[in-house]
Amino acid sequence: MNAAKSGRPARIVQHGLFIDGHEVPASGGELLDVLNPACGEVIARVAHAGAEDVHGAVQSARQAFESKEWGGLSVRTRARLINKLADSFEADLDSLYALETLNNGRPIAETRAQIGRLPDFFRYNAGLALARRDAVIPVEGPYLTYTVRTPIGVVGNATPFNHPLMIMCKSLAPVFASGCTTVVKPSEYTPLTTLRLAALFSEAGLPPGVFNVVTGLGPTTGKALAEHAGLAKVVLTGGTEAGRIVAGLAGKNFARQTLELGGKSPVIVFDDYDVEQAVNYAAFGAFIGAGQTCVCASRHIVQRSIYDAFVERLAAKARSIRIGDPADPATQLGPVISAKQQQRVLNYVKIGQDEGARLAAGGKVPADPALARGFYVEPTVFSDVKPEMRIAQEEVFGPFTVVLPFDDEEEAIRIANNSPFGLAGGVRTRDVHRAHRVAARLRLGIVWINDHHRLDPASPWGGVAESGIGKEFGSESFDEHFDVKTVMVSTEDKPFDWYRDTAKQKRLN
């Protein structure tokens, strides 16, 4: 793989933190290397923010929240600005496509498909702001009772490496639309597009301090952000263990939390569904983003009458996927994010073999010498898997899926729900009655019927159990950025003296 083809820059760019509308150095001066996972080369260095830097970013966000330039904007003026930001985002898409692919290794075709939709997240939330209504509540007695919503304040947002821009934007859009402000801590692996977007929005007129970025490691920068008493809300997309840590830190300050954590998505395939179509969805669900998605189709639960055909065709499909340089439009599967993640996937291949499952496809590093310096793993399929096996229970976060057989609907649902996670899953059937019946019984936050990994700014997103708490997208996420105040007005002007005739009064004190 030559440098020009992989998109490696001629020089290594250094980035500071983005606080109060401009780039600033970190107080400690330490820099972290950022790698291109396709070739292992350093492509940038970013500042490592300490607690002092995080505090400065939160203070900047608080000042912006209370300022006339942001906090004092009318709803309509803010909505117009957010739409302007979306236009600016859209105008810069080509450079963001290239930078995101360079930084996280997703094939350019995938990156274009995903990032191209993100400006609409902002437009949708700007629409929610304009359409917002407070409630008038009918209560007993001569009273007018209504609610008033006020934005909560500063939101801390910790984003992962797998979808850096998309996952940030799904939080950023309701933050802006509600009138809140934010401090974002991107993954140390993939901070570059986050920094770029912050600068882009500043150039487009976003007031200083509304959108701050602190780069660094989770145990230092992330911890300082999560435990900061100045945050009204913490948003994290990451692993379940990271979620437990962040929940504990933020909970000490009673900050609201939205945690989108791990998953082990079940996909139930019934025998009335076209096998070839089921395999196509399976390959997409399991291998898009090199399997590094929280909703990766990692457990395929297939009716026994079509089980062998499904495994055979999925294995063939996996072997046909073109692995290569993510900057090449012909590439269908890029690298995982790091050498550590590559080894994790390979470790699970060994675990599966040791447990007695059959490796039907993949499970190795590609033999192509041009890919040797990158963090690649072949798309991997295991069959003859039992529900209690580790490879059927634990999140791998790579191009790795397992196939399990079932005989009837009850068994399929039982296997699907046999997991500590509850983020997303799928049902493949032509029977409309069964589709709704099974979807209702799956303990998941999201169910796709005859599709996979489909989302929309208007559709709530989030899981249950060890997959997290809270919802992103939709009016649900927007509403979570407000405090609700109840105002109760007496509409009668009668004399009142509680202590003169207490016994005869009815009142909920």
Q: What is the pLDDT of residue 507?
A: 67
Type of residue numbered 165 = L
* Cα–Cα dist 185/173, whole Å: 16
- HSE value, Cβ hemisphere, 13 Å, CA-based, for 124: 21
- The residue from 294, 395, 466, 472 that is catalytic is 294
Residue 378: partners with Cβ closer than 8 Å, 6 or more residues away: 318, 323, 361, 362, 363, 364, 365, 366, 399
* Cα–Cα dist 29/26, whole Å: 5
SS3 of 224-269:
HHHCCCCCCEEEEECCHHHHHHHHHHHHCCCCEEEEECCCCCEEEE
* Cα–Cα dist 373/274, whole Å: 39
How does residue 4 score in pLDDT terms, banded at 50, 70 and 90?
very low
Q: For 279-291, what is each residue's pLDDT tens digit? A: 999 999 999 999 9
If you search the block for the tokens 């509409």, which residue do you land on?
491
Q: For 462-491, what is each residue's pLDDT tens digit? A: 999 999 999 999 999 999 999 999 999 999
Q: For 17-43, what is each residue's pLDDT tens digit? A: 999 999 999 999 999 999 999 999 999
When the pLDDT of each residue in the chain is averaged and rounded to a whole number, the result is: 95
Q: For 62-91, what is each residue's pLDDT tens digit? A: 999 999 999 999 999 999 999 999 999 999
* Cα–Cα dist 104/111, whole Å: 10
What secondary structure letter does DSSP report for 280? H
* Cα–Cα dist 274/283, whole Å: 14
Residue with more model confidence, 507 or 358: 358
Report the predicted TM-score, pTM, of the whole model to 2 decimal places: 0.93
Average pLDDT over residues 233-260: 96
If you search the block for the tokens 């790698």, which residue do you land on?
35
Q: Which residues pair with 267 in a beta bridge?
A: 300, 426
* Cα–Cα dist 453/198, whole Å: 27
SS3 of 444-458:
CCEEEECCCCCCCCC
- The residue from 188, 260, 378, 472 that is catalytic is 260
Q: Is 15 helix (H, G, I), strand (E, B) or coil?
A: strand
Q: What is the pLDDT of residue 2?
A: 32
Q: Confirm if 241 and 73 have CB atoms less than 8 A apart.
A: no
Q: For 200-243, what is each residue's pLDDT tens digit? A: 999 999 999 999 999 999 999 999 999 999 999 999 999 999 99
Q: What is the pLDDT of residue 509?
A: 55
Tokens standing for residue 60: 């900047």
Out of 3-7, 390-394, 396-400, 442-446, which region has the weakest mean confidence (pLDDT)?
3-7
pLDDT at 1 over 50: no
Type of residue numbered 137 = I
Query: Percentage of the chain surpassing pLDDT 70?
Result: 97
Average pLDDT over residues 315-340: 97
Q: For 407-453, what is each residue's pLDDT tens digit? A: 999 999 999 999 999 999 999 999 999 999 999 999 999 999 999 99
How does residue 506 score in pLDDT terms, banded at 50, 70 and 90?
confident
Q: Confirm if 412 and 439 have CB atoms less than 8 A apart.
A: no
Q: For 89-127, what is each residue's pLDDT tens digit? A: 999 999 999 999 999 999 999 999 999 999 999 999 999
pLDDT at 501 over 80: no
Q: Confirm if 196 and 8 have CB atoms less than 8 A apart.
A: no
* Cα–Cα dist 164/147, whole Å: 36
Q: Tell me, yes or no, if 260 is annotated catalytic.
A: yes
Q: Tell me, yes or no, if 169 is annotated catalytic.
A: no
Q: For 171-204, what is each residue's pLDDT tens digit? A: 999 999 999 999 999 999 999 999 999 999 999 9
Q: Which residues pair with 45 in a beta bridge?
A: 14, 33
Q: Which residues pair with 359 in a beta bridge?
A: 382
